[in-house]
Structures are given as C-alpha cells and as structure tokens.
C-alpha cells in the first residue's frame, strides 16, 4: 500500500514541472527583452552621438557661412566706400583741376611729383612743314591724318577769309588761337608766319597739348597754359585777331567777362571770331540724342525738345559745360561788348557750330 505523502508528492510533480518551465520561459523572455532593450539603448545612444556630431557640423557650417557673409558684406562695404571715395576724388578733380573755379588749369597729371609727359611719336608727312601729334595726342580730334589735316585746314580757311573781308592783307599780323589744343588749326598759318611775318600765339587751359606744342612747334610760336578765369597774359591792344573753335560753346561761367578780356587785348579794329552753339547745334544734338557721347555731356532737356525752347540755355557744371544761344540772342548780347560783323552758319561738313565775327570798336 502506497504511503499517502508519496502519493501527494507524485500528484504535485506535473504542476511543479509546469511552473519551473514557465519560470524558465519567463526568464528567457526577460533576458531577450533585456538584450533587445540594451541594443535599442545602444542604438539610441549611437543616434544621439551622430545627431550631436551633425549638429556640431551644421553649427560649424553656419559659423563659416556667417563668417563668409561677414567677409562679403565687408568687401561690399569696402567696394562701396572705395566707389564713394573715387566719386569724391573725381568731383574734387573736376572742381579743382579740370575746369576749376579758382583759376587753375587742367594739369599734366594728378601726382605730387610731375615729370615730363610721355607722348606718342609725332607723325611726319610729306608736304607738311610741321609734325602732327600722334593720334592719342589729338585730344578728341580725328585720329586719321588726312581728316585731322582737312578739318584744321577748313577751320583755318574760315579765319583767313574773314581776315581778307574785314582786315585785308597784313604783314606782321598778331594772331591768337584761343583754345589751341595741340595746334590743329594754328599749324595752318605756318605759311603766313614764314612769308608775311605773322606772329602766332596759342593758349589753352589743358597743359598737355601746350607741352606738346613746346616740344614740336618752332619757338616762334608763343604758346602758354591759361586758366578758366578771364585773364590773358597779353598787353592791352596787342593782338590783331583772336579766334576760337569750340570754346565759347563750353563757357557757362563768366562768358561776358571773357568777352571783355578778349576785347582788352585786341587792337582797335581787331577781329574776334568764335564758334557758338545756336539753334543749328541744338537740332544736331537732338538728332543724335540717343548716342552715348550726347547723353554723357548734355541735358535731358535737349533730348525732349526738337527745337531750342529758350533764348539761351547753359548746361553742366565746372567740368563739362554746354552753352547754347539763339542766334539773335547771341548777336544782341555780344554786341554790347564788340561790334558784331557777321554770324555765319556752319561753314563745312565737319561743323555744326555758327561762327560769330566781331570787331573791337576803334
């Protein structure tokens, strides 16, 4: 007969086995979950490390971009500042060295130490007694030799014909080219200088062309650098003829004082010949109003009005000026200072300027 205690223990073995198995399964599941959790934590820490590294990289990139932008902004500010300085210097140069208000002329250079300027080699042509400036030293006049000579000769012919009409043949005539540049017109009176003893003078506010003339024209030509102030270094009543091309066309300031100064140095009965912008020039510029060389130097008013609307109109400042007169207004105003003999329309194909011919009353 089986003992009751053994029988009870035998009855308990299957449940205990199941409990042990359940416990073991729970432990195994726990260990698996723990391993998975530890792996997840490790991955999260890895992701966090990567995120911190990416954040650091982005922060560094942002800092570099800010620094680059700062450098760009600084460069832009510096460029803008340099542009403003250059603009200011340009205005200063215009005010004090190009066409200044205080009597200076246009200098050879803007340096503290000035040296003899470098010019291109003068051009020698058969049949020409005097050398021509190199094309770069013609100061805006034609670079082609034949055109340069032809234009100067036609302008000289206007002066010569007016002398013939109003003075007649003259020995030893004293003639001044007012605004002579590098002798574009003055050179064409070389025959009269040699044959008739004419005394040839030139003055210009630009120092470079005067220096060129000193180097390449005979010493009998008296040339000098003038100023924008109404003053000439000539005695009273000392010149027979004063002519100028494209000078009073650019005198906005003190034009009347200049007329009085030119009258002072003319001999009684002497001639003054000067080109002017009148209605003809206004129409010419209006026709070419869309071209850069016109827009740079002229008022928008000229582009707007096909015909000159006012009796006179002066545009610009001290550096670049354009002076226009209606023909009858110019005749009336100039006759206050000199006897007006003629106001000629443009005399050749190169010109769109009228020529005022006056005489100093005796």
| Residues of the chain scoring pLDDT < 50 | 97-102
- Nearest CA-CA partner of 330 in 257, 247, 274, 264: 274
Neighbouring C-beta atoms of residue 357, cutoff 10 Å? 21
Residues 193 and 273 in one domain: yes
Residues 91 and 153 in one domain: no
Under 8 Å between Cβ of 172 and 238: no
pLDDT in tens, 316-343: 876 678 999 999 999 999 999 999 999 9
Q: What is the pLDDT of residue 101?
A: 45
Q: Which of 46, 69, 98 is the last residue of a domain?
A: 98
Cβ(176)–Cβ(242) below 8 Å? yes
Q: What is the domain range of residue 47? A: 1-98
Do 281 and 151 belong to one domain? yes
Task: Tell me the whole-structure pTM to 2 decimals.
Answer: 0.73
Into how many domains does the chain fold?
2
How far apart, in whole angstroms, are the C-alpha atoms of residue 214 and residue 29?
112
Whether 76 and 23 map to the same domain: the answer is yes
Eight-state DSSP code of residue 98:
I
- For residue 53, being part of any structural domain is answered with yes
pLDDT value of position 166? 97
Output phi, psi for 209, to 5 deg: -65, -35
Same domain for 152 and 88?
no
Indicate if 212 and 305 belong to the same structural domain: yes
β-pairing, 354-359 vs 266-276, is antiparallel
Asked whether residue 275 falls in the same domain as residue 330, the answer is yes
Which regions of the chain does DSSP assign to beta strands (E)?
174-178, 199-204, 222-225, 239-244, 266-276, 312-316, 321-325, 339-344, 354-359
C-beta atoms surrounding 11 within 10 Å: 9
Determine the Cα angle at 359 with ends 197 and 176, to 5°: 40
User: What does the block give as tokens for 316?
Assistant: 């610009």
On whether both 316 and 199 belong to a single domain, the answer is yes
pLDDT score of 87: 77
75, 98, 121 - which closes a domain = 98
Helix (H, G, I), strand (E, B) or coil at 144: coil
Tell me if 255 is assigned to some domain: yes
147 and 291 part of one domain? yes
In a domain, 253, yes or no: yes
- Residue 105 lies inside a defined structural domain of this protein: no
pLDDT digits (tens, 9 = 90+) for 264-291: 999 999 999 999 999 999 999 999 999 9
Shared-domain flag, residues 159 and 306: yes
Cα gap 273→177, rounded to integer Å: 10
Question: CB of 238 within 8 A of CB of 327?
Answer: no
Predicted pLDDT of residue 102: 45
Query: 285 and 202, same structural domain?
Result: yes
Strand partners, 272: 242, 358
Are 251 and 354 found together in one domain? yes
CATH code at position 200 = 3.40.50.150
The verdict on residue 115 lying in a domain is: no
Q: What is the per-residue pLDDT for 111? A: 77
Q: How many CA atoms lie within 13 A of 3 on its CB side?
A: 3
């Amino acid at each position: 007969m089986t003992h009751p205690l053994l029988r009870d223990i035998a009855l308990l073995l299957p449940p205990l086995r199941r409990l042990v198995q359940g416990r073991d399964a729970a432990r195994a599941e726990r260990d698996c979950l723990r391993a998975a959790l530890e792996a997840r934590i490790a991955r999260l820490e890895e992701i966090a490390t990567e995120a911190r590294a990416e954040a650091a990289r982005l922060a560094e990139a942002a800092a570099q971009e800010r620094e680059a932008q700062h450098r760009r902004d600084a460069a832009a500010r510096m460029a803008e500042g340099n542009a403003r300085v250059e603009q200011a210097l340009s205005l200063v140069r215009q005010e004090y060295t190009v066409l200044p208000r205080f009597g200076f002329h246009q200098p050879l250079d803007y340096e503290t130490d000035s040296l003899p300027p470098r010019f291109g080699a003068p051009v020698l042509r058969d049949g020409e007694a005097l050398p021509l400036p190199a094309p770069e030293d013609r100061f805006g006049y034609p670079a082609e030799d034949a055109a340069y000579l032809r234009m100067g000769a036609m302008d000289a012919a206007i002066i010569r014909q007016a002398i013939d009409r109003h003075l007649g043949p003259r020995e030893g005539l004293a003639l001044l080219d007012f605004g002579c540049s590098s002798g574009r017109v003055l050179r064409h009176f070389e025959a009269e200088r040699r044959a008739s003893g004419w005394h040839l003078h030139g003055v210009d506010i630009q120092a470079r062309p005067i220096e060129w003339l000193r180097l390449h024209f005979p010493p009998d030509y008296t040339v000098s650098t003038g100023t924008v102030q109404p003053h000439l270094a000539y005695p009273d009543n000392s010149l027979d003829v004063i002519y100028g091309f494209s000078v009073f066309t650019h005198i906005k300031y003190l034009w009347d004082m200049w007329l009085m100064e030119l009258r002072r140095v003319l001999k009684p009965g002497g001639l003054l010949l000067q080109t002017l912008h009148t209605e003809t020039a206004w129409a010419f510029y209006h026709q070419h109003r869309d071209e850069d060389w016109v827009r740079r130097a002229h008022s928008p008013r000229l582009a707007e009005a096909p015909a000159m609307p006012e009796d006179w109109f002066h545009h610009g400042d001290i550096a670049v000026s354009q002076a226009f007169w209606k023909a009858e207004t110019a005749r009336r105003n100039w006759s206050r200072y000199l006897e007006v003999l003629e106001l000629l329309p443009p005399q050749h194909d190169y010109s769109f300027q009228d020529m005022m011919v006056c005489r100093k009353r005796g």
